[in-house]
Homo-oligomer: A and B are copies of this chain.
């Protein structure tokens, strides 16, 4: 879970224990985090001395203590203090009286030796070992580390096997998607969420057009990229040979073939490459249970503030 705005929406929906795995740095967001921490059990990310000191001051002004967790960069080169500088920063945070350092966390994805990999077992084990070893180094300096939190959906299963890891944070597993299937985390049949599109045009045997484009299917996981080499922007269970080849904003162009059933007006279910960013594009999702559909709003999205 990423942002304070999303944590606020979750709190409004009754979720009372939230980890904002994202560095908080601005005064306005820290104030919101401090207010939220009085309503629910909240932990927020920190990954820099500047961020930690700002947060210390904000908590001191409010006369409270904020639970924080130190983010470590284990090679993804995203947020997170560089691995080699983590012990020093943990000691510094531990010395700040209004911050309660509860542990360390990382997000590494399916990375091994600095490159995306399909060897999730090795990647997950390495991720876990790196974090447990770091926790030991920090503890050796007299700084308690209660939580050692790891794991993306591809690596969580294996990273969680490492002795000393206390938490995994997979996200995509709730639905699974085509990317996870290609990674070998699940099968295509395991993918629980799909987009139900309609064929709106069939200009020729080889081209079918649906009413969903890049505003309907996320484009952050592109086709034909290593190591996934996904073919097109989604998987079509009813016509596995058909390829959702091109997207414009409201149009999806399917490379089709005669007799594939993609006739004008027909419905076509498509498993997107990346379900997280695809759900983010829609106002509602429809939950299916026992033959019934229930619409629920996608509430925590569209907010940079």
Contact = CB atoms under 8 A, between A and B. Distances in A.
Nearest to A50: B264
Given A25-B264, A48-B264, A214-B218, 12 more contacts: A23-B201, A47-B203, A48-B201, A51-B201, A77-B203, A79-B209, A195-B304, A196-B304, A218-B219, A220-B249, A282-B303, A284-B302
Interface in A59-90: 73, 77-82
Contacts of A154: none
Contacts of A253: 77-78
B302 A283 contact: yes
Nearest to A197: B304
A281 to B, nearest CB: 7
A280 interface: yes
Given A77-B207, A77-B253, A264-B48, A200 B23 contact: yes
Interface in A257-300: 263-265, 276-277, 280-284, 298
Nearest to A78: B251
B198 A25 contact: yes
Nearest to A77: B207
* 6 closest A-B pairs by CB: A283-B302, A214-B220, A2-B250, A79-B201, A219-B220, A50-B264
Number of copies: 2
29 contacts: A3-B250, A22-B200, A24-B200, A25-B199, A25-B200, A25-B201, A25-B264, A25-B265, A26-B265, A47-B201, A47-B203, A48-B201, A48-B203, A50-B263, A50-B265, A51-B200, A51-B264, A54-B265, A73-B203, A78-B209, A80-B203, A214-B218, A214-B277, A215-B301, A220-B249, A222-B222, A282-B302, A282-B304, A283-B302
Contacts of A50: 263-265
A234 to B, nearest CB: 13
A276 B264 contact: no
